[in-house]
Amino acid sequence: MIPLCSVLAASILLGASAEPRVQRNIPYAQPANERQMLDVYAPADAKAAPVIFWIHGGGWQTGDKSAVGLKPQAFTDKGFVFVATNYRFWPHVDIGTIASDVAKAIRWVHDHIAEHGGDPKRLIVMGHSAGAQLAALVSIDDRYLKAEGLSLAIIKGCVPVDGDTYDVPAIIETAETRRRVHGLPPIKVGHREKFGNDPAKHKDLSAVTHVAPDKGIPPFLILYVANHPDVTAQAQRLGQVLQDAKVPVTLFGARETTHTRINADLGRPEDPATKAVFDFLAKVLK
């Protein structure tokens, strides 16, 4: 097997930009809801390639797998198969069920990605915003994958991007205290409404709750917007808990960017967060 670092170096030198092969709207559940679909982007000559599994954001209630920007081209140029998944939305289902949808999509990847040139044993889970919460949760709380007959061992790395809900009780308290102290009106739909009003459920849907040593949690690269206090605090909280459990973790605070731009810029060659991602991938997949 050719080392990933060699593949990355060769693709940079050759300036690879061939259009990936794309298959859209593949159902991952039976019977499939219209939201239980995923897209696969693969290099034309992919064979046993590492796989990026991408989870879109949108507050668990909006967004789509098609909003991937530069990512499919950027990753397939570097020899990856890129998978983008949809999932059912709140309030039609609760957030635990959404995480189960993500696990079902990962199960489909495990079972079928070899047919698209991917290696089911070299999977990287990534997601932005709400997708970051889902990526971290399914990569740490092994119950979701176990329900699909899988283990955390298939995930070689996790890259949550600018999430604010790795510790749900903390973000609920932070947001509600801020509004109370500053005399701001309550919002109609906030984290409490989306995660329910049960404190035990808030903890259970928090990735930090389930971190423990020696359970096979993969290495993490946590990307966040450095000048935003909430995502910075959440990134540092998750990073510290992982570090305490002896899980390899790197934090990267992106500067001069926003919640939207850090996602849109992923894949730009000159983007510092993109460079951090490919450095991380070369390390965990070598």
Q: Give dist(CA 42, CA 30) in Å, integer.
A: 24
pLDDT of residue 81: 98
DSSP state of 164: S
Give yes or no for residue 16 having a pLDDT over 90. Answer: no
Q: Give dist(CA 226, CA 242) in Å, integer.
A: 19
Average confidence (pLDDT) over 185-198? 92
Average confidence (pLDDT) over 252-280? 98
Average confidence (pLDDT) over 99-110? 98
For the chain, the domain total comes to: 1
Q: CA geometry: angle at 228 spanning 209 and 184, to 5°?
A: 90
pLDDT of residue 15: 43
Give yes or no for residue 9 having a pLDDT over 60. Answer: no
Q: Give dist(CA 61, CA 40) in Å, integer.
A: 23
10 Å CB burial of residue 103 (0-12, 13-18, 19+) is buried
Q: CA geometry: angle at 117 spanning 113 and 120, to 5°?
A: 40
**Which residue type, as a one-letter code, is found at position 75?**
F
Give yes or no for residue 5 having a pLDDT over 60. Answer: no
pLDDT of residue 4: 55
Give the residues across from 124 on adjacent strands. 52, 157
Digit-coded pLDDT (tens) for 109-146: 999 999 999 999 999 999 999 999 999 999 999 999 99
Average confidence (pLDDT) over 255-281? 98
Average confidence (pLDDT) over 99-105? 98
pLDDT of residue 114: 98
Give yes or no for residue 6 having a pLDDT over 70. Answer: no
Give yes or no for residue 7 having a pLDDT over 50. Answer: no
Q: What are the strands of the beta sheet with 81-85, ordered from one edge?
A: 21-27, 37-42, 81-85, 49-55, 118-128, 155-161, 220-225, 249-254
Q: How confident is the model at residue 17 (pLDDT cuts 50, 70, 90)?
A: confident
Domain of residue 203 covers 4-285
| CATH value at residue 78 | 3.40.50.1820
- The answer to whether the Cα torsion of 257, 263, 264, 266 is positive or negative is positive
Digit-coded pLDDT (tens) for 27-66: 999 998 999 999 999 999 999 999 999 999 999 999 999 9
Q: Give dist(CA 251, CA 62) in Å, integer.
A: 27
Cite the DSSP H helix spans in the chain. 4-14, 71-77, 95-112, 130-140, 143-146, 168-181, 191-195, 199-204, 229-244, 259-264, 272-285
pLDDT of residue 3: 52
pLDDT of residue 187: 87
pLDDT of residue 186: 84
